Structure formats: structure tokens, C-alpha cells
Amino acid sequence: LPQNPVLNTIEPHHLPEDFHALADEHGLSYKAHREYLIGRGITQDMWRMYNLGAARSVPYRVIIPIEADYWQGRAIYKYVEPKYLNPKEPASDILFNSQALVTYDEVVICEGAFSAMAVGENAIALIGKQPTPEKLMRLVMAPVKSYIIALEPGAFDTMHQVADTLYGAGKDVTLWKYS
């Protein structure tokens, strides 16, 4: 993947103190974390681009820097609960890969960070099933001309809510319905 200078300016604020980037070959060995990402189709270039990491203080999880003071710890094993751990700060206006909102004319809206990574650099994630009014306002106010809404199967009502809001603000909107 080509390097995007906007993505490279993400500051990983308040990550766990023992955070280690998985792309750092000289860091601690997190073989299971790397295998999990490879199994999800997340490449080493993507590890670097999104500064994916791990921390012993947040065991059995890939640490995903989102933005500002927010990050997620995604469980790498099915038996680890809860699936996601987050910092204490609320995520009411947090979007994964929000730089895409000022970089691209067309942006794909996904639910989770891994879905957005799989789509590409022009994808963002709501980091949750329901968009908050703050998140919707960020989407409306962005200079993006066209949105493709690609939420998870079963989120059709939410897709319509987001589409209605964006269309009402003059954006071109496409719904991507999973088969």
C-alpha cells in the first residue's frame, strides 16, 4: 500500500504504557497477535500504517489506536471476553481513520476498525453499531462528496439512519448491502 502522509501523523496518545508496535521487528515477540492479524487479512504494511500493537497489560489483544485519547484492544482468541476493551474516555465523537474525511472525495463507512482496514485507506469506522449525533455531525461537516455505507449485516436500520442524515445534508450516498 502506498504511504499516506496524513495517516502517518496519527499521534498514539495515552496508549498503554507497555505498548509495542507489532511492525517493530526489534520489539517483543507477539507471534499470536501477528498470526491473528494475518488470518484477518491485515498485512504488515497495514500494521505500520495504523500503528497496530500489543501490550502485556492488555493481554491477548491487538491494540488499535483510533484517534485522540482513544484506542481499542481487540481479543485475538474467541474465548477472551469481552471482545473489545477500551479506555475510560467516552467515544461519542471518535472515528477510526478520520483522516480519510479530509483526504478523499468518496469515503466508505464501516462499523469496526478491521472492516475499515480491509476496505482501504478511504474507509472509516464508526467504532460501534450506532452512530452518535457527534459522529453524524463530523460526517456531515466533512468535505467528502460521496459516502458508501457498508455496516455489518443486520444493521440495515442504522444504515438508513446514516443515509438519511447524509443525503439530507447534500451528500451522495450508496448503501452496500451484504448478501
Q: 3-state SS of the chain?
A: CCCCCCHHHCCCCCCCCCCEECCCCCCCCCHHHHHHHHHCCCCHHHHHHCCCEECCCCCCEEEEEEECCEEEEEECCCCCCCCEECCCCCCCCCCECCCHHHHCCEEEEECCHHHHHHHCCCEEECCCCCCCHHHHHHHHHCCCCEEEECCCCCCHHHHHHHHHHHHHCCCEEEECCCC
pLDDT by 10s per residue, the chain, length 179:
334 333 333 344 578 889 989 987 655 578 899 999 999 999 999 999 999 999 999 999 999 999 877 899 999 999 999 999 988 777 789 999 999 999 999 999 999 999 999 999 999 999 987 899 999 999 999 999 999 999 988 888 899 999 999 999 999 999 997 76
pTM assigned to the model? 0.87
Task: Quote the pLDDT of residue 82.
Answer: 93
Task: Quote the pLDDT of residue 172.
Answer: 98
